[in-house]
Structure 1
Amino acid sequence: MRRGLPLRAVVPNAVTALALCSGLTGIRFAIASQWETAVLMILLAGVLDGLDGRIARFLRGESRFGAELDSLSDAISFGVSPALILYLWSLMLVPRLGWLVALIFAVFCALRLARFNAQIDLTEQPHKSAGFLTGVPAPAGAMLAMLPLYLWFWSGEPVFASPWLVAPWVALVALLMVSSVATFSWSSLRLRRNIRFEALAGLVLVGAAVIAAPWQMLSLVCVAYAATIPFSYRAYAKIRRLRASSPPAP
């Protein structure tokens, strides 16, 4: 009988645990009112979350244990931690409504991840087979929810810290996470051969912009991602109509 985890599965699971630690550390900095560092911890958790799966596939260290650990880490790093950071930063000014919105965001993130785990073994997944995701993924949801923080960092405008602006925005992002709206999947995007060099140059420019003006660039990325949602919804609706009109396979 196989006992424990294979050695090749330890590294990706360690990266997942580091992502969990990073997300929890964001709460610690938020308690100390070190808002920029708190947000950076969530962003670091997002980077580590993107790496653990790739490392697991490279080392052939995928496991059911790793998948469950990844979901638990995501629920805390991209659900609980951003909710508490936003509550301590702005939403606590309206305690009842603010705490309700923070709870909704954290719980809806957990529900999204539970739905993802429940569908992992299903053979019939219309969104996935068409190259789309169902709803906004948890890391993107956390990044979107913190958009008012980014705007507040570089503009200094107190309006962005108003709970009457932050609360409806966070609630909207929470609804997008648990919705059935089709969103673009980055892993399914394929670049044409004749624009791959231009795409690489664009990524370099984006990386340089993030280093030079991180909060302005993150604000722009969030707005751009939110703007793609109507287009992804429309694109999937077109694919669904084509599937409905095509004759069934013999």
Structure 2
Amino acid sequence: MLSAPRAVLPLLALLCAACAGRGPTTSSPPPSAQLVKSPLSARGAYRLHRDADQAYVPPGPAPTPARAVTLPLHVQPPLPDPQAKRLFLGSVTEPATSLLTSSEPPRVLALALAGTARGEALGLQADGLPQSAILHEGESARLPVAMPRNACVTYIAQGGIGVVELDLFLTTTLEGGALRVVGEDVREGPIAVIGGKEGCLGVKGPFVGDLHVQVRKGEGQILVRRYRR
């Protein structure tokens, strides 16, 4: 039997020891490499993350808080129609029809006047009977009026069928004969009011003047009545 030389034996011993220390190449990885999440838990975590991305909406600008709108306590009335005043002043010196007391005015016209008074003369009392006249387009009627000191009145003129545009003026004559308009209607249509919803017309001292009702468009019967506080 052949035997290896004595000088080779130490080398063989070292090679065997090295092979025994390396161990088999198919051995399991160290325990720390086995700490991996299961595929199901990994997919679940990914799904949650993806859904969160889809549902996320970046915040927009903060909404502007609503502002309270404060309405004026008193709404200014519309301005008078300058055309009505020009027509009136151009014909005021001409003879005018007189407004006559009407104890039994047409029922429909009287009901219309009463309905207008409920909205325009609220809290006021009718002062005397209504005055009536039948006017054609461009004609006017006149009524002398007098009011005591500190009076507050509202005048309403109600046009009947055929009256399209009605105007109302309250005037007084100054020293020297000049005519002064102290009140006029500012509405459009067959109803004319001086005072009314904007407040009754007040006078500080005794007042003497004339009330003029003018049919600017159309023709027909009109009723005029005064209401006072």
With normalisation by structure 1, the TM-score equals 0.20
- Work out which structure has the larger RCO, using CA pairs closer than 8 Å and 6 or more positions apart in sequence: 2
Structure of larger gyration radius: 2
With normalisation by structure 2, the TM-score equals 0.21
Higher strand share: 2
Higher helix share: 1
